[in-house]
Structure 1
Amino acid sequence: MNQTDLIAAVAERAGLSKADAGKALEALVGTITDSLKQGDEVRISGFGTFGVSERGERQGRNPQTGEPITIGASKSAKFTAGKAVKEALNGD
């Protein structure tokens, strides 16, 4: 499912226009992104938790030359599914 499909599905389920559903989705994604940038977790009851995972600096190799390189530290978004989502996926 891509973003357009998601907007159409949300619009149909919530009885909204596609434009309003698109605005709501953009607002949700923007709010989650802003919270993660500030280092906060976002918990959606019954769905899951969005958080930030920090990766430390590490050594790697250039695959073309085999030369050692340093890969810098970085942050990444992570999602942990909630109990209801896990149960729905596993048929419990």
Structure 2
Amino acid sequence: MALTKADIVEKVYSQLGFPKDKSFQVIESLIESVKGSLASGDDVLVSGFGKFCVKEKQPRKGRNPATGESTILPARRVVTFKCSERLRSRLNGKKRSKS
């Protein structure tokens, strides 16, 4: 089951005691900040979680699977995510050694 925005708002509401409307505003503001940074081409780093990066994709050859016709797919920007070592260790059930 995926964690939804409503689930995050509920956690902020229950764990931090913010009213639900304020919890929603906090989460919405956070998400808008992240989207704005990514849209302007900036990376978003969340320590202990990971890094969202904007990558430029070059135009490339493609093919329409229905007709088999070749086409050129335009250049585009995509968002990638690289998780932190701390998160990777937690996902794999390993304790992180202190360096």
Q: What CA deviation, in whole Å up to 9, does each residue of 1:14-43 have, x standing for no partner?
A: 222222121111111111111112221111
For 2:55, what is the secondary structure of its paired residue?
strand
Q: Distance in 1 between matches of 2:17 and 2:93?
A: 28
**Runs of 5+ consecutive residues of structure 2 not aligned to the other structure:** 95-99
Q: How many residues align?
A: 92
Structure with greater helix percent: 1
Superposition RMSD in Å: 1.3
Shift in Å at residue 68 of structure 1?
A: 0.5
1:28 is aligned with what amino acid? L
Shift in Å at residue 64 of structure 1?
A: 1.4
- Equivalent residue number for residue 55 of structure 1: 57
Normalising by structure 2, report the TM-score. Answer: 0.83
**Percent identity among equivalent residues?**
34
Runs of 4+ with >6 A deviation: none
- Equivalent residue number for residue 36 of structure 1: 38
**Runs of 5+ consecutive residues of structure 1 not aligned to the other structure:** none
